[in-house]
Amino acid sequence: MDVTSIAAASIYLHQSQVQESAGIAIAKQVLNVQEVAAEALIEIIQDSVPSFGHKLDIRV
């Protein structure tokens, strides 16, 4: 193995590591966004479910 192929292998390995790190960072951001959205959805659902005895619908 000559110096050029060792350098090329090193560059390829570094690029792979950078791509993997970027992918993990993006996945973490997506997970955080989904967690916030899920919490908001749960809150909306909890607020929209009527409790018996607390609301009265009247039609005339």
**Helix segments in the chain, DSSP class H:** 3-48
Q: What is the pTM of this model?
A: 0.61
pLDDT of residue 17: 95
pLDDT (tens digit per residue) in 3-23? 889 999 999 999 999 999 999
| Residue 3 belongs to a domain | yes
pLDDT over 90 at 39, yes or no: yes
Domain count for the chain, please give it: 1
| Residue 57 belongs to a domain | no
36 φ, ψ (degrees, to nearest 5): -65, -40
pLDDT over 80 at 54, yes or no: no
pLDDT of residue 2: 81
- Domain span at residue 10 reads 1-46
| Residue 60 belongs to a domain | no
Q: Give the span between the Cα atoms of 41 and 34, in whole angstroms.
A: 10
Phi/psi-derived region of residue 53, left when phi > 0, alpha when psi is between -120 and 50, beta in every other case: left
| Residue 32 belongs to a domain | yes
